[in-house]
Chains A and B, each alone.
Chain A
């Protein structure tokens, strides 16, 4: 019994537990409502193929929101970096140069965002909204509003590396998604940069007093988000072997939803990479799940809204700050009962 309680106490501590629960419940629901689709492996392979760009964006955005900021420009970076990638590849035929320059375009956009937010002091939601319009507009101008095909890239190694099928089955981008998640988990929870982000989001004044260079950290953060968005843009472009001017615009709200469903706080100071990981897969699997369940594609958005409201409420009820949440209470009770069993100390 004691071990069981210890086990529960450990379990309650696990990051993102709530959202993992929601994810599993949703999958069970889909398996029940659409057994033919959801007991086969194909649907899962298609998730692994389509979700990674959204996932990688959500992971990056988690850091931004943890710092108490918002980025609305990543959808434009998806388009811009995709354009840069296609343009360089079609002009010079060198995929790696195209890749590097596409990421650099993300750095550029991110740096300007960071500079506007940290140096000039424009609230990030405004600065990045302006950036979204600007870079989307520039992309449309430069591309002439056309979509560009790059089917010649198929034989190149870069295509196999990023969006190939491992063993002819598992999409490579899903592995990249996991790699980015692991990397960002360590950055947020174990790296100086992540700790500075946590404190800036928690209380900027405290961060300043304790010697954190708030301006430099914020600029770095937006540059980071820029690179991550550009990487997602390249993955999307490679997967579709096509660039189109509005690619990414459909990802804006689902990405933000994924982060919030995952349990990251909009108030800043707390972010969960694991939560965003499952949040992204929940958002990404809803459409297919809803359609396969036979209630019709028109329901997708409505269901997404419901799931988001439910997850966010659940997170708030379970993790209320200042230890008034159910989870905290549970932890306390377990601690107490163990303490009493030991006969006190």
Chain B
């Protein structure tokens, strides 16, 4: 596997098309997520954001097109969720990432448990590592949450943090966040944005999907604007102000 920094793009999508029957969900999608780049993926409901994410994370294959991960072409025939994990791509969904009633340490390792030969979980070791991830990777020191806390005690933002920390621990090179800040209070939004900064600091890449423009603007290096299955603009942050971006988006909303 390539080491960090030895590749140009974390992910590159080339001429991706996806048809559901005769309906085109995605048409001619071309974009890349650079090494250690945070990309904001913006678009209204039905623009094709989640379809695009499902293709990247291996939930289903595209009808046409090619995917490159760390500059290497991915054979799409046997590309699936497990394969995506192996290649270091992990998605964090707001409501589908953590088991509500379970201890946090269990949530870190579910599906990838550390076990002895008989399949019994090494609880102490898992707890230790979970605690470490929480304290050192995502900065949960001093908020009164330990590896033994239940998920239900966590706020919405903290949950995202746990899922992000988990992805980082399992060496995800590209972390995809799907609407991480919708339905969160302002304070919680800031927490999530800080987690995203941690992703960036650690040298990883991130796709940040949201329709809340100020959030996207604050942490992204680049914006990709999706509308009705097509990319209508790719803009670098240095080329645009938040106001211009908002006006641009409004124009598309009115055009409908």
Q: Residues of A at under 8 Å CB distance from B? A: 186, 190-193, 195-196, 198-199, 202-203, 205-207, 209-212, 269-270, 321-323
Report Cα–Cα, A155/B100, bound state, in Å.
53
Report Cα–Cα, A39/B50, bound state, in Å.
68
Known: A186-B120, A198-B99, A202-B99. A207 touches B110 (CB 8 A): yes
Contact in complex: A210, B111 (CB < 8 Å)? yes
- In the bound complex, residues from chain B placing their C-beta under 8 Å from that of A195 are 106, 110, 113, 121
Contact of B111 among A190, A211, A270 (CB under 8 A): A211
Contact in complex: B96, A205 (CB < 8 Å)? yes
Min Cβ gap A324→B in Å is 10
Contact of A322 among B96, B121, B152 (CB under 8 A): B152
27 interchain pairs, CB-CB under 8 A: A186-B120, A190-B121, A192-B113, A192-B115, A192-B120, A195-B106, A195-B110, A195-B121, A198-B101, A202-B99, A202-B100, A203-B96, A203-B100, A207-B99, A209-B96, A209-B97, A210-B97, A210-B110, A210-B112, A211-B82, A211-B111, A212-B110, A269-B100, A269-B102, A321-B101, A321-B152, A322-B153
Contact in complex: A203, B99 (CB < 8 Å)? yes
Contact in complex: A212, B121 (CB < 8 Å)? no
Min Cβ gap B247→A in Å is 37
Contact in complex: B99, A199 (CB < 8 Å)? yes
Report Cα–Cα, A114/B128, bound state, in Å.
36
Report Cα–Cα, A244/B106, bound state, in Å.
45
Report Cα–Cα, A300/B247, bound state, in Å.
74
The 8 A-B pairs of least Cβ separation, nearest first, read: A211-B111, A210-B111, A202-B99, A269-B101, A192-B119, A199-B99, A210-B110, A322-B152
- In the bound complex, residues from chain B placing their C-beta under 8 Å from that of A323 are 150, 152-153
Known: A198-B106, A210-B110, A211-B81. A270 touches B120 (CB 8 A): no
Interface size on B, residues (CB 8 A): 24
- In the bound complex, residues from chain A placing their C-beta under 8 Å from that of B110 are 195-196, 199, 206-207, 210, 212
Report Cα–Cα, A190/B97, bound state, in Å.
21
Report Cα–Cα, A187/B216, bound state, in Å.
44
- In the bound complex, residues from chain B placing their C-beta under 8 Å from that of A192 are 113, 115, 119-121
- In the bound complex, residues from chain B placing their C-beta under 8 Å from that of A270 are 101
Determine the residue in chain B with the shortest Cβ distance to A198: B102
B85 within 8 A of A: yes
Report Cα–Cα, A270/B151, bound state, in Å.
13
Known: A195-B110, A203-B100, A322-B153. A209 touches B93 (CB 8 A): yes
Report Cα–Cα, A269/B153, bound state, in Å.
16
- In the bound complex, residues from chain B placing their C-beta under 8 Å from that of A209 are 81, 93, 96-97
B98 within 8 A of A: yes
Report Cα–Cα, A212/B119, bound state, in Å.
14
Contact in complex: B85, A211 (CB < 8 Å)? yes
- In the bound complex, residues from chain A placing their C-beta under 8 Å from that of B106 are 195, 198-199
- In the bound complex, residues from chain A placing their C-beta under 8 Å from that of B81 are 209, 211
Report Cα–Cα, A209/B54, bound state, in Å.
12
Report Cα–Cα, A198/B98, bound state, in Å.
12
Min Cβ gap B50→A in Å is 14
Report Cα–Cα, A214/B111, bound state, in Å.
11
| CB interface residues, B 79-110, toward A, < 8 Å | 81-82, 85, 93, 96-102, 106, 110
- In the bound complex, residues from chain A placing their C-beta under 8 Å from that of B150 are 323
Contact in complex: B98, A206 (CB < 8 Å)? yes
Contact in complex: B152, A199 (CB < 8 Å)? no
Min Cβ gap A185→B in Å is 12
Min Cβ gap B54→A in Å is 12
Q: Select the residue from B82, B110, B119 with max chain A CB neighbours within 10 A.
A: B110
Report Cα–Cα, A212/B111, bound state, in Å.
5
- In the bound complex, residues from chain A placing their C-beta under 8 Å from that of B102 are 198-199, 202, 269
Contact in complex: A269, B99 (CB < 8 Å)? yes
- In the bound complex, residues from chain A placing their C-beta under 8 Å from that of B96 are 203, 205-206, 209
Report Cα–Cα, A44/B172, bound state, in Å.
57
| Per-residue contact bits, chain B 137-158, to A (CB 8 Å; 1 contact, 0 not) | 0000000000000101100000
Report Cα–Cα, A269/B150, bound state, in Å.
12
Contact in complex: B97, A206 (CB < 8 Å)? yes
Known: A198-B102, A199-B110, A202-B101. A190 touches B153 (CB 8 A): no
- In the bound complex, residues from chain A placing their C-beta under 8 Å from that of B85 are 211
Other than the given A192-B115, A199-B110, 16 more pairs (CB < 8 A) read A186-B120, A190-B121, A191-B119, A192-B119, A196-B110, A198-B106, A206-B97, A206-B99, A207-B99, A209-B96, A210-B111, A210-B112, A211-B81, A211-B82, A211-B111, A323-B153
Min Cβ gap B104→A in Å is 13
Determine the residue in chain B with the shortest Cβ distance to A211: B111
Report Cα–Cα, A270/B103, bound state, in Å.
11
Report Cα–Cα, A89/B111, bound state, in Å.
43
- In the bound complex, residues from chain A placing their C-beta under 8 Å from that of B152 are 321-323
- In the bound complex, residues from chain B placing their C-beta under 8 Å from that of A206 are 96-99, 110
Report Cα–Cα, A195/B105, bound state, in Å.
11
Report Cα–Cα, A166/B93, bound state, in Å.
56
Report Cα–Cα, A236/B31, bound state, in Å.
67
